[in-house]
Amino acid sequence: MDLDRKTVRRFRDTDLDQLLVSVRDRRPNGVLERFVEIREHGYLGSRQVVRKRLAALRAGTAEPVRADIPSPRKITSWIMRPRGTLTDSQEERLLQVRLACPDNR
């Protein structure tokens, strides 16, 4: 069975209910809790996709995630609007675009 003697002895000498409780207590639930947190932030994909991405990040083989870049039409509409008519989030996005533009440097 490829089990250590101590493990076999523990299974032999411990009541089944105690074994089941100890297994539940030792089960790492951090990954599941984090996945639930990711879902609460709007992620709609599966847990398997997250696991593959994390494995690639740990291995150093992950592709960098591209930023959500607004379309040129959206950026132009932000620039052409009169001052003060953009929402706070639109102003922040426009600032990010301007800072990322190589012509601004």
pLDDT tens for the 105 residues of the chain, in order:
678 888 888 888 888 888 777 766 665 566 677 778 788 888 888 888 888 888 888 888 888 777 678 889 999 999 999 988 999 989 988 988 888 877 765
Range of the domain at 30: 5-59
Joined tokens for residue 46:
């599966």
Query: pTM for the complete prediction?
Result: 0.37
Query: Are 93 and 81 a contacting pair, CB within 8 Å?
Result: no
Domain total of the chain: 2
- Inside any domain, residue 16: yes
- Inside any domain, residue 17: yes
Q: What is the pLDDT of residue 48?
A: 85
- Inside any domain, residue 97: yes
77 shares its domain with 42: no
Joined tokens for residue 29:
């639930």
48 shares its domain with 89: no
Q: What is the pLDDT of residue 27?
A: 56
Q: What is the pLDDT of residue 73?
A: 94
Radius of gyration of the chain (CA): 26
